[in-house]
Every structure is written in structure tokens, then in C-alpha cells.
Amino acid sequence: MSDLLRIAIVGFGEIACRQHVSAIAKTSGAALVAVVDPAKTPSGLPHFRDLTELLRDGPEIDAVALCTPPQVRHVQAAMALAAGKHVLLEKPPGATVSELTPLIAAAHEANRTLFATWHSRYAPAVGPARKLLAGRTISKVTIIWKEDVRVWHPGQTWIFEAGGFGVFDPGINALSILTEILPSQVFVKSAVLDFPANRETPIAAAIELSDANGLPIHAEFDFRQSGPPSWDILCETEAGPVMLSKGGRQLRDGNRLMVDATDEEYPALYRRFVALTSDGKSDVDLAPLRLAADSFMLGRRRFVEAFED
């Protein structure tokens, strides 16, 4: 295997174009050598219609970054691991929780890395927030995660199909931050999920969570917000409020601005991926996915007006 981690992106949609390509270019020890997509043909790179064609006819690769919709990711990951490739999974890592268990076993058996990425955990204010909250007593947490689906997921019809997560596709970013910054495990107590009459996944959700000590955590996700997005987590503590804003790029301790940085999440993800493959390790934390699944399991469905993109 080459000292350079040669990566193929599978699924060349918006997130791959906007984040993965530039992140790989910024990562020492990694190179993008091919793209798999049934429709898009990026210039300057070998292009293949599907993963089978890549593995059969493509250049030598060491890893695949699966940026396809979650409904098809399990089959692709299993195929790549069977071919001896490392696998990076965009979030959410799969359409179900149970499908990840055989992939973890397959990666171990093949001595390959499986990396279930939670990019929002790598936002610049998340680590400082975790350290700050470790010394505080938290009395309440409020999550507001709202955006315009037409702006952030244009033309992505799969997101409203079964297995596409709906508003939990961005909402799981908040859950990934929550499970990273709190010192104790949390669980879902109840949820209300708003399903458009013509869609198979929710467009909005209100979730009540807690930890073993009864910490009240309220989360609101909504795809119908116009204008700028709201990606905020407020933790009320005995020493005052701690606010994570802008999806984890900004941190305030009371009125004091502690972090206000640019988005470097994906370069950090790929540095982590290179390190994992070098060390022969995997990283598959399913906590955010379990919370999303439990919200669907416990959620009371409300049907709302039809949504047209």
C-alpha cells in the first residue's frame, strides 16, 4: 500500500463537491484519485458509474469516501471492505443502526479502517465547549436547529424518502455535538415528528431528552425556516449560560466571546481518517444515530401540509 492514502469519492453530490474535494486537497498524506457517480463527471479525474466499475477498472486506491444517500451506503461499504479498502462514511453512517454492526466486524476482519464521521464534532468551538462544561453544573440544555431545506438540500429528494432522515439529516449534527460536549450519556424521552402529507420523513421535530440525573434537554429541528439558519445549543449552568452557535463555530461564555472561527471541519475529518488508517484503527460512534432512531421509535406523528420543493 502506498504511503499516500489514495481516495475515491463515491457519490459526487453537493457535500462532496463543496467539502470533501477541498478537504482532501488540504490534507497531507491524502490524494483524491477517482470519483464514482452515475451522472456527474468531474473534470480532471477518472470517473466511474458505480463502485463495481471502479474496483474492476479504476486506478489503485486505498480508501473510499461514501457520500451517497444513507439508504445505499451499507452495500457500498461492505463491497469496499471486502475489496480491502478503508471506508469513510458521511453522516449519518447508515439508514439503520443494526446495519453498522456487520460493517464494524467486516472492517476488523479485513484489518481496515471504518470511520463513521460526525463532522460537526470537529467544528472549532466544540472542543473548547466540552472542556468548559466539564467544570460546570448544567441545569438545562436547549437545542434550536432550523434551516431552509430548499437552500441547504436543493433537489435532494432522497432526504424525504424512507431512510433519508428528513430533518434529522441536519438535526443529527446537533445530536453529535450534544453527545460530544455533555459528560454523561443521554436518551430520548419523547418526540413529536411533523410529516408532510406527501413525504415519508419528517420536516420538523420536537424532542425531549435527558440523562440519568434528569437533566432536561429540549431540541427543535425544522426544515421550514427562511433566511439564515439557526444552529444553536444553549447550556444553562450555575455560572451562567454557555452558547454554541453557528453549528459549533462560535462559543460564548455568558457575554464573553471565546471562539469565533471559520469552518475547518472537513479538513480535520480527513486528518483523522489518515491517522486512523496509519494506526490500523476504526472510529464508529453510534450514539447520535441511536438518538435519531429512538426519536423515530418514540415519536408521535403529526401530519402537516404537503411540502413541494
In whole angstroms, what separates CA 65 from the centre of its chain?
13
Reading phi first (left if > 0) and then psi (alpha if -120 to 50, else beta), residue 126 is in alpha
Q: What is the pLDDT of residue 58?
A: 94
Q: Give the start-to-end residue ranges of the domains of the chain.
A: 5-116, 123-260+293-304
Average pLDDT, the chain: 96
Q: What is the pLDDT of residue 82?
A: 98
- β-bridge mates for residue 215, sequence order: none
Residue pair 247/121 in contact by the 8 Å Cβ criterion: no
pLDDT at residue 122 tops 60: yes
- β-bridge mates for residue 106, sequence order: none
Residue pair 133/237 in contact by the 8 Å Cβ criterion: yes
| Overall size of the chain counted in residues | 309
% of the chain beyond a pLDDT of 90: 94
pLDDT at residue 4 tops 50: yes
- Give the H/E segment covering residue 114: strand 114-116
216 Cβ contact partners less than 8 Å away, ≥ 6 residues apart? 140, 141, 208, 210
**Cα(188)–Cα(207) distance, integer angstroms:** 7
Predicted confidence (pLDDT) per residue in 216-231, tens digit = 999 999 999 999 999 9
Residue pair 69/89 in contact by the 8 Å Cβ criterion: no
**Burial, 57: exposed, middle or buried (Cβ in 10 Å; 0-12, 13-18, 19+)?**
exposed
Q: What is the pLDDT of residue 30?
A: 98
**Cα(61)–Cα(33) distance, integer angstroms:** 7
pLDDT at residue 194 tops 80: yes
Q: What is the pLDDT of residue 2?
A: 62
Global pTM value: 0.95
Q: Which DSSP symbol is given to 90?
A: P
pLDDT band for position 213 (50/70/90)? very high
Per-residue pLDDT averaged across 109-114, rounded? 98
pLDDT at residue 262 tops 70: yes
Q: Which residue has the cell 481518517?
A: 273
Strand 299-304 versus strand 240-245 pairing type: unpaired
Predicted confidence (pLDDT) per residue in 65-80, tens digit = 999 999 999 999 999 9
Q: What is the largest CA-CA distance in the chain?
A: 60
pLDDT at residue 189 tops 60: yes
Compute φ and ψ for 201, nearest 5 degrees. -135, 160
Cβ–Cβ contacts within 10 Å for residue 247, how many? 24
Predicted confidence (pLDDT) per residue in 136-172, tens digit = 999 999 999 999 999 999 989 999 999 999 999 999 9
DSSP per position, 254-309: TTEEEEE----HHHHHHHHHHHHHHHT--B---HHHHHHHHHHHHEEEEEE-----
Return the amino acid letter for 61: I
State the cell numbers at 240. 451562567
- Give the H/E segment covering residue 251: strand 250-253
Please tell us whether the domain made up of 5-116 is placed in CATH 3.40.190.10.
Answer: no
**Cα(259)–Cα(224) distance, integer angstroms:** 28
**Cα(65)–Cα(35) distance, integer angstroms:** 10
Instruction: For the domain covering 123-260+293-304, report its CATH number.
Output: 3.30.360.10
Q: Pick the catalytic residue from 26, 40, 85, 91.
A: 91
Q: Which DSSP symbol is given to 106?
A: H
Predicted confidence (pLDDT) per residue in 12-46, tens digit = 988 999 999 999 999 999 999 999 999 877 778 99
Per-residue pLDDT averaged across 285-292, rounded? 98
Q: What is the pLDDT of residue 1?
A: 47
State the cell numbers at 217. 434537554
Nearest to 146 by CA among 68, 245, 235: 245
Q: Are domains 5-116 and 123-260+293-304 of this chain identical in fold?
A: no
**Residue 91: active-site member:** yes
Q: What is the pLDDT of residue 279?
A: 97
Residue pair 12/42 in contact by the 8 Å Cβ criterion: yes
pLDDT at residue 233 tops 90: yes
